[in-house]
Amino acid sequence: MRSANVNAFSSLGPTADEICRQVERILGSEEFHAPKRGRNFLEFVVNETLAGRSGFLKAFTIANVVFGREASFDPQNDPVVRIEAGRIRKALERYYLVAGRADEVIITVPKGGYVPHFEYAQGLPLPPAGPEDPEETQAAEPDDRDGSRRKTPAPMLSAVPVPRIVIAAALALFALAFAFALSGQGRPSASSPPAAAEPKVVVEFFAESGSADPGSDIARGLRDDVIGQLARFDHIVVVADPLRGERAAGADYALQGNVQLDESRLRAAARLVRQSDGAVIWAKNFDADLDAENKLVIQGNISRQISSAIAHPYGAIFQTETDKIARPAQNGDQDAYACTRAYYSYRQAMTAQSHSAALECLLKATQRFPDNVTSWALLSMVYLDELRFRHKLGAPSSVEPLELATAAVERAASLAPGDPRVLQALMMVGFFHGDIDKALKAGTAAHAANPGDVEVAGEYGYRLALSGKWQSGCELLSIALNRGAGPSGYYEAGMALCALMKGDLEQAERWSRKSDLGSNPVHRLVLLSILGAAGKTAEAELEKHWLYTHAPALMTDIREEVSLRLQRPEDQERFLNGLRASGIDIGAVPAK
């Protein structure tokens, strides 16, 4: 293959359209010798990179999506992805030697990873290749890594064709309407809340300073990527053209940015300003080295961090709208989006009062907007919480919440079966019904639909872990924890279980004491098991006293509560053995 290089950093390199046309040219050539799954591999990695999701291109993801491997796939024991990547590298090299010698765009998959590299042919040396095994170079403890570098489980969609890369190319354009269409594929138009109720964010043009050559147009490219990422969130309205007064008028927030260059060093500064009073409600700097990393990769990583920090359900925009959180309805005029805010307010507070407020609001929303998919999905999860958090919320023991949750999610699925929030609700209901295969199938699909949704990733990780897939599940739990998703202490309890099952009792206790021990008796039970396993009898006595005093119902149904969550008998026994060691009389394993 002839030498090629990105056009330094004096431009954005090949455009998305040029890359798409080049892939079509390669796949249509008789000189590109690759089987069908190898062609799907190439399309998938290009598609994900153009869509700004290169951080998820790990062996686990590719094996699940492209090769149809199960969620238990272990890249260390099954080298299928590395082998296929090697074949694609050789097939690309042969193509450019034989049929593609005059092509203007060069596509490679450098060793050391699965992220493709897009270049204009310049007759310059290729960038140095990295290590052969990407999984070894990126290993780190879960709580020390950024979410974009994790081995994140991906959906098992082997029966679904890999999307054509032309779809991903649209994310690089300014066509905001099309980006919105991508984020809402498969949803009936009636399912969207009234547009006027959603926060409006205008993305201003990013300024650029420093030497022109290395970073020309990088500010524009970064802004484009941010717009594409923000458009994936269906609870905000994004304005991409701040010069159009009629579009930017009435915007609640303005996202401003600046890119500074000092030789190869890049610093991107971003801030979110509330338009009503000019208050800066979020700001952060991002540093990168243009000599060490591809500019498109840098743009993708920074844009994902910005969009997640301001637009995910627990991000900056939500935090500043607490004065708009729906309270119990008095006149029944809440719009559907107000009830979505009420749900996420409840998820942060996790009190009986906030639960009742969210439940009442969502019930009225489903009556007023019977085709609103989000309201039905969230209603299902609020009902389900009366089962899984019943000791925290003070709810009575009953099968009714699960039945109501099932009915609500079935209604949501009838309206939009592919909606990520619907799939999340299907996962949760399936899990507590005991249909683990169905639950995890829905979870993988939900995570695939929007890998940047940390709430979906966290709940999916929790279900994987509690189903016995501890390694992949705990990695996703760590992502959600590091990005501030979920109720306070919720994912800390999950990480405590991860450490307990791994046998690291010191770390398990540390995580457990960070969880919401004061309000969640089940998490107190987790700590008691850990203390028992660690032989800390005096501390275990204090926890037992608290539990028997504040949660006597839990202490009479311990085995039922444990089996409701931990799915494998061996995991249940490990947990129960810790309780036995603390002095709790659990009894022997029931005869089958």
Cβ proximity of 392 and 349 under 8 Å: no
The answer, yes or no, to whether residue 180 has pLDDT greater than 50, is no
- Beta-ladder partners of 362: none
Q: Which carries the bigger pLDDT value, residue 97 or residue 163?
A: 97
Among 21-35, 142-156, 524-538, 572-586, which is the least confidently predicted range? Answer: 142-156
The answer, yes or no, to whether residue 401 has pLDDT greater than 60, is yes
pLDDT at 164: 36
How is residue 226 written in tokens?
A: 């941010």
pLDDT tens digits for range 497-526: 999 999 999 999 999 999 988 889 999 999
Average pLDDT, the chain: 79
CA pair distance 226, 299, nearest whole angstrom: 9
CA pair distance 285, 319, nearest whole angstrom: 20
- Structural domains of the chain, with CATH: 16-169 (no CATH), 191-311 (3.40.50.10070), 325-423 (1.25.40.10)
CA distances from 301 to 336, 447, 502 (A): 32, 18, 31
Burial 78-91 (b: 16+ CB within 10 A, else e): eebbbebbebbbeb
pLDDT tens digits for range 41-63: 999 899 888 888 888 788 888 88
Sign of CA dihedral 118, 290, 453, 562: positive
What does pTM read for this prediction?
Answer: 0.58
What does DSSP say about strands 253-262 and 200-203: parallel, antiparallel, or unpaired?
parallel
Cβ count within 10 A of residue 555? 18
**3-class secondary structure per residue, 423-453:** HHHHHHHHHHHCCHHHHHHHHHHHHHHCCCC
Tell me the range of 218-232, 374-388, 481-495 where mean pLDDT is highest.
374-388
Q: How confident is the model at residue 190 (pLDDT cuts 50, 70, 90)?
A: very low
Start-to-end CA span in the chain (Å): 63
Average pLDDT over residues 213-233: 78
**Based on the number of CB atoms within 10 Å of its own CB, is 514 exposed (0-12), middle (13-18) or buried (19 or more)?**
middle
pLDDT tens digits for range 303-322: 888 887 888 766 778 767 65
Residue 327 parent element (H or E): none
pLDDT tens digits for range 122-140: 543 333 434 444 433 333 3
The answer, yes or no, to whether residue 196 has pLDDT greater than 60, is no
Sign of CA dihedral 500, 504, 509, 514: negative
pLDDT at 322: 52
Burial 167-180 (b: 16+ CB within 10 A, else e): ebbbbbbeebeebe
Q: Which carries the bigger pLDDT value, residue 276 or residue 322?
A: 276
Among 12-26, 72-86, 154-168, which is the least confidently predicted range? Answer: 154-168
pLDDT tens digits for range 3-20: 333 333 234 578 888 899
Q: How confident is the model at residue 216 (pLDDT cuts 50, 70, 90)?
A: low
pLDDT at 276: 83
Average pLDDT over residues 273-280: 87
- The residue assigned the tokens 């960038």 is 127
List of residues 6+ apart from 587 with CB closer than 8 A: 559
pLDDT at 158: 32
- Beta-ladder partners of 120: 5, 105
CA pair distance 478, 473, nearest whole angstrom: 9
Q: How confident is the model at residue 177 (pLDDT cuts 50, 70, 90)?
A: very low
Q: How confident is the model at residue 162 (pLDDT cuts 50, 70, 90)?
A: very low
Among 65-79, 322-336, 568-582, which is the least confidently predicted range? Answer: 322-336
Among 132-136, 285-289, 421-425, 548-552, which is the least confidently predicted range? Answer: 132-136
